[in-house]
Structure 1
C-alpha cells in the first residue's frame, strides 16, 4: 500500500512539519517528499510501546509486587492514566518522565533503608528459564529457534492483529509448547546468557498477552476480538495476568481515581 499527502495545502504542510517533526525526519533522510511522492506504508509490531498494559504497579511510588523492583515508562502499566487506549506521545511522554522520577526516588529510598552495603548481603540466584534448564541442555544457539517460534505466533497479522478466539488459542498452545521446551533445554552459557533470557522473556510475554486476550471476550479500547466485536459493560475492569510454567488471569476492577500526570 502506498500513500501521498497531496491534499495538504502550503499552510497545512508547514503546520504538520512543526507538529510532528520526527514523522518527516525519515522522509528527509531518504530524500522523499511525502507531499508529492508516494511512500509505502505497512503495519509494524511495536510490542508494548503503544499498549496500555505492562508491569503491575502497587503504589504511587511505582513499586511492583517484587520488593525493591520499581517500573517506569513503557515497561509499566499505563491503564491508570489512559484507560484502554493510548498512543505514542502526549500523556505517554508525560508518564515516562514522571514515572521515571517517582520510581528513581523510590528505588533510592529502598536502597537507603537497608543497613550495610550490597556486597555484604546474601544473594540468592532465582533465574530459571534460559539459565538453568530442567533437562539436558540444548545447543548454545538454541535461543534463535525460540525467537523464531515466538515471531511465528505474534508477527502475522492474521494471528495478532485480526484476533479471533480460535486463532488465539492455537497460538497459545504453540507458545506453551515452546515454553516447556525452553525450560527443559535452553541454555546459552555465559557468552549468550542475555540473549537466552531475552528469548525466554519473549515467550513469557507472548503467553501472558494471548492468555489475557482470551480472557477478555469483548472489544474494548485497543483490545479487539473479531468473534466479540461489541463492548461488554460487564467487563469494565482490568485483567491481571502472570505465572510462568502455568499462566493465570484474574479481573481487577478499577476502584481508585487515576493519578493526574502534569
Structure 2
C-alpha cells in the first residue's frame, strides 16, 4: 500500500506549564489546530476509514478484547471508559475531542493487547473507524501521519495522565453496570461473580449483591455462567451516574467497603485474578 499523500503542518513547540491543576472535566487545551485535524482526518479517510455519527449521550462503541478499529474524531467529544485486561485496576476515563484519536484504543492496537472500552458521546459526534491492519500500515508507511499523530499524543499525555490518576468517584453500582455493558455480546455476558470481582478488584459478595439488586429492577436475568441484559438503557444511565437508584451517589455500606479492602489486600499479596 503506497503512502497517503497529504501535507502535515509542523507541530508547534510546547513549553513547560505551571499553575493550578487542570480540572478533570476541562477539554485538553492542546487540541490540534484546524489544519492539523483536517490532515489527520484526510489521511484516515484515504486509508479506508468509515465515518459514523451518534447523538449526545449515545453509546459510540463498546468493545472487549482486541480493538475493532482505530478511532479518530471528526467533530464532537467522547468520554472513554477503559480497562486493560489482566490488570488489577478499575476502569479509567479519558476524553477525545475533534481531531483527536482515542488513545487507549490506539495503544492497544499498536501493542497487540486487549481491553474493555466503552465510549459515550458528550455532544453530537462524528468519527472515523479504520481497520487495525490498515491503521498499522498507515503508521508504518506514512511518516507525516506518524509524526503528526505521535506529536499530538505527546501534547495530550500530561492531561491524559491527570484524568486517569484523578480521584475515583464512581460507585460500585456504576462500575458493575459499566462492566456489564462493556462485556456484553448480543446482550449476554458469559462470566461468573468471582471473575467479575477479580476484574473490578472487589469481593465476590459485593458483586453478587449488586447483581441481585439489578435483577430485582428487571435489568438483568442471571443464569448459570451467564447474565442477560434486559434493561441495557437503564444500566447505561446507572453507569453514567444519571440515576439516583440505589447507592449511585457513591455511599456504600461499611461491610462492602471492608470486603473490598480485604479483597484488594489479598489480590496484592497473591497476584491472583
The TM tier, using the shorter chain, reads under 0.3
TM-score, normalization by structure 2? 0.23
**Higher gyration radius (CA):** 1
Larger strand fraction of residues: 2
